[in-house]
Chain A
Amino acid sequence: MSASTTTDRQQFNASMRFLHWLMAAAVLTILGIGVAMVASLGGYHSLVSIHRPLGILILILVVIRFVNRLRSTLPPFPATMSPQERLAAHASEVLLYTLLFVQPLVGWAMLSAARYPIVMFGSLHLFPILPHSVMLYAFLRKAHTFLAYLLFLTFIAHFSAILFHTLIVRDGMLNRMVPWRVRAR
């Protein structure tokens, strides 16, 4: 194969990078909206009205991303990563995918159990996925907060690791995911 194959193998392919950054923006936005809306009186309604459809968008995106990942060829780990680091990277990836899938479902289920209409926009709304049960709602509402903090901490770990590799180890790890093409050195 030609040199371009080497480039491909250093970086995640274009669709994976696109989905990564799209979801990064969506997830940081929804986490910010989530933490702000529960502490807000004046902004509550507008923020919740964005939070709900954005959560469903993330649910759709994570499914697309998972399928896309299965169908894509992944670049190898940098040689600078120890076996332990690779294990941790893999575990955190599994955790992130799981949280990004489960958290919107918990949100949807929680609104269903509370018998809130699950409005996306205009008259478009989703069907409930659980029966009306306020006890179930109370549990899922707590779970939604817990999972949000867990997701935020997982993001911080992910962010820390990439900063460490990029700035201290300087193995160009960030280049694997940057939106633009990076030529192999």
Chain B
Amino acid sequence: MAPLANRDAKTIHSSVEPLGETGPMEKHPAPLTAGNVLARLAGIGVLLLAVVGAFLYLGGWFSPRKLTPVRFVDEFERVNGIHSGFRRNHAKGVGVRGFFDSNGQGVRLSKAVVFQSGRVPVIGRFSLGGGDPHASDELGNVRGLGLQFSLPDGEEWRTAMINLPVFPFKDPQAFYDNLVASQPDPNTHQPDPAKGVAFIASHPETARAIGIIKSGAPSSGFDNSAYYGLNAFRFVNADGASIYVRWALAPVQPYEAGSGASVDKNLNKNFLFDGLIASIRQHPLQWRLIMTVAQPGDPTDDATIPWPEGREQVDVGTLTLDSVESEKTSPARDINFDPLVLPAGMAPSNDPLLSARSAVYSQSFTRRAGETKEPSEITPAEVRK
């Protein structure tokens, strides 16, 4: 009902006008016939149904096949199971800390405070792709690095990068369909290889991306991997000029090909994480943050396609990571490395993956936030070893 409560009308007005609690009687219109009343009630019902229906429509209730964040994360859970308190993807990980030293070269690309000369603190998390928090490390696993830059004006920049130079899926639907194809068969408890083959056959862009990915052998560890932001972003500088960029972290640690020893079954199941821990304790690890600037016509909406060789690359500063800790104590566990947490001066491109990543990460974060936090594979004891 309208805001009608009206205790004060009498008291306020009594000194002015001798009117009662209620308004003056109105001339009442002619009474409605029973049929009229019914018709008007029906009209009210239709109006209410329309309003409720519009909201249900907006909420996707009438499109049960529509791909939503909830259905996306449900599919992750069907493939990987539910591991209480863990991310639905990139479940296995460790926290790191360090800082980013900007050299000021990025200022002409973006007005984001992070590119002004100076140092900002960074919290990060190394991870392996997949939803099993206790999976054995494999050289061929996707390696992830999530970073949160805390800017001096209170803004934040978060990015979630992986060690692949291109992404195998061009849009959320392709990612989802591949996830469905990799779902374990209820009888064999293994994914059906035929479904994977069928997926690749119907997604030539994925086949091309895998070709690019396979052309480089994975490095020996987290510390000498490059990490790629994959999606294009729009940068706006202080003059209002806007460009598209993709970013990558190039390791200062020299590349070393992963050794064949890693297929040794006796190898520690956490060899990649243990290698990282040992390496970071020897010396701080460093990466150059490289911005690749698009030319007009370069695809900004398709992360499966690399930009042509020879694009301008701007080294905007150095990331240093100098401490590592178990997720048990690291603040990184409770951070959602949402790629669309961006400071002013950085904005999403038209890549459909970006908003979808933000939405699905958020859904995964919300689910795990309320769950009991089971111990991570990389325990505080593992880090101290």
A binds B: yes
B1 within 8 A of A: yes
Asked if A41 contacts B67 (CB within 8 A), the reply is: yes
Choose among A77, A79, A117, A167 the residue that contacts B44 (Cβ–Cβ < 8 A).
A167
B344 within 8 A of A: yes
B381 within 8 A of A: no
Binds B, one of A29-37, A50-58, A101-109: A29-37
Asked if A116 contacts B336 (CB within 8 A), the reply is: yes
Choose among A44, A88, A89 the residue that contacts B355 (Cβ–Cβ < 8 A).
A44
Asked if B29 contacts A170 (CB within 8 A), the reply is: yes
Q: Which of A154-185 contact B (CB under 8 A)?
A: 156-164, 167-168, 170-174, 176-177, 184-185
A146 within 8 A of B: no
Asked if A77 contacts B334 (CB within 8 A), the reply is: no
Q: How far is the CB of A136 from chain B (nearest CB, A)?
A: 9
A77: chain B residues at CB < 8 Å are: 4, 6, 21-23
Interface size of A by CB at 8 A reads 79
A22–B151 CA distance with the chains assembled, in angstroms: 36
Q: Which of B95-123 contact A (CB under 8 A)?
A: 113
B354: chain A residues at CB < 8 Å are: 45
Asked if B3 contacts A20 (CB within 8 A), the reply is: yes
A138–B373 CA distance with the chains assembled, in angstroms: 13
Asked if B9 contacts A5 (CB within 8 A), the reply is: no
Q: How large is the interface on B (under 10, 10 to 19, 20 to 34, 35 or more residues)?
A: 35 or more
Choose among B2, B26, B40, B69 the residue that contacts A44 (Cβ–Cβ < 8 A).
B69
B67: chain A residues at CB < 8 Å are: 41
A125–B342 CA distance with the chains assembled, in angstroms: 12
A69–B37 CA distance with the chains assembled, in angstroms: 35
Asked if B355 contacts A160 (CB within 8 A), the reply is: no
A129 within 8 A of B: no
Q: How far is the CB of B263 from chain A (nearest CB, A)?
A: 37
Binds A, one of B219-227, B267-275, B318-326, B358-366: B358-366
Asked if B2 contacts A176 (CB within 8 A), the reply is: yes
B58: chain A residues at CB < 8 Å are: 32, 35-36, 39
Q: CB-CB contacts of A1-18 with B at 8 A, as 1s and 0s? A: 100011001101000100
Q: Which of A125-140 contact B (CB under 8 A)?
A: 125, 127, 132, 134-135, 137-139
Asked if A9 contacts B331 (CB within 8 A), the reply is: no
B356: chain A residues at CB < 8 Å are: 41-42, 44
**Residue among A10, A42, A48 with the most chain B CB within 10 A?**
A42
B43 within 8 A of A: yes
A46: chain B residues at CB < 8 Å are: 355
Q: Which of B355-382 contact A (CB under 8 A)?
A: 355-356, 358-360, 362, 365-366, 368-370
Asked if B155 contacts A137 (CB within 8 A), the reply is: no
A141–B55 CA distance with the chains assembled, in angstroms: 20
A48: chain B residues at CB < 8 Å are: 358
Asked if B51 contacts A123 (CB within 8 A), the reply is: no
Asked if B156 contacts A73 (CB within 8 A), the reply is: no
A154–B370 CA distance with the chains assembled, in angstroms: 28
Q: How far is the CB of B239 from chain A (nearest CB, A)?
A: 16
The closest CB in chain A to the CB of B352 belongs to A42
B52: chain A residues at CB < 8 Å are: 156
Asked if B48 contacts A12 (CB within 8 A), the reply is: no
Q: Which of A70-98 contact B (CB under 8 A)?
A: 73-79, 81, 85-86, 88-90, 92-94, 96
Q: Are A123 and B6 CB-contacts (below 8 A) given A36-B59, A79-B22?
A: no
Asked if A76 contacts B9 (CB within 8 A), the reply is: yes
A86–B1 CA distance with the chains assembled, in angstroms: 9
B13 within 8 A of A: yes
Asked if A90 contacts B48 (CB within 8 A), the reply is: no
Asked if A157 contacts B1 (CB within 8 A), the reply is: yes
Q: Are A171 and B59 CB-contacts (below 8 A) given A41-B68, A44-B69, A132-B334?
A: no
Q: Are A44 and B3 CB-contacts (below 8 A) given A163-B44, A171-B26?
A: no
Q: How far is the CB of A44 from chain B (nearest CB, A)?
A: 4
Q: Which of B23-51 contact A (CB under 8 A)?
A: 23-29, 32, 37, 40-41, 43-44, 47-48, 51
Known: A122-B344, A163-B44. 18 other contacts (CB 8 A): A5-B17, A35-B59, A39-B59, A41-B67, A41-B355, A41-B356, A42-B355, A76-B19, A79-B22, A79-B23, A116-B341, A117-B154, A134-B368, A137-B366, A141-B370, A163-B48, A170-B29, A176-B4
Contacts A/B (CB < 8 Å), 22 sampled: A1-B17, A5-B16, A12-B3, A16-B3, A32-B54, A39-B59, A40-B68, A40-B359, A41-B356, A42-B355, A76-B21, A77-B4, A77-B6, A79-B25, A86-B6, A96-B3, A117-B156, A135-B369, A138-B369, A156-B51, A168-B40, A184-B24
* Interface of A toward B, CB cutoff 8 Å: 1, 5-6, 9-10, 12, 16, 20, 31-32, 35-46, 48, 69, 73-79, 81, 85-86, 88-90, 92-94, 96, 114-117, 119, 122-123, 125, 127, 132, 134-135, 137-139, 141-142, 152, 156-164, 167-168, 170-174, 176-177, 184-185
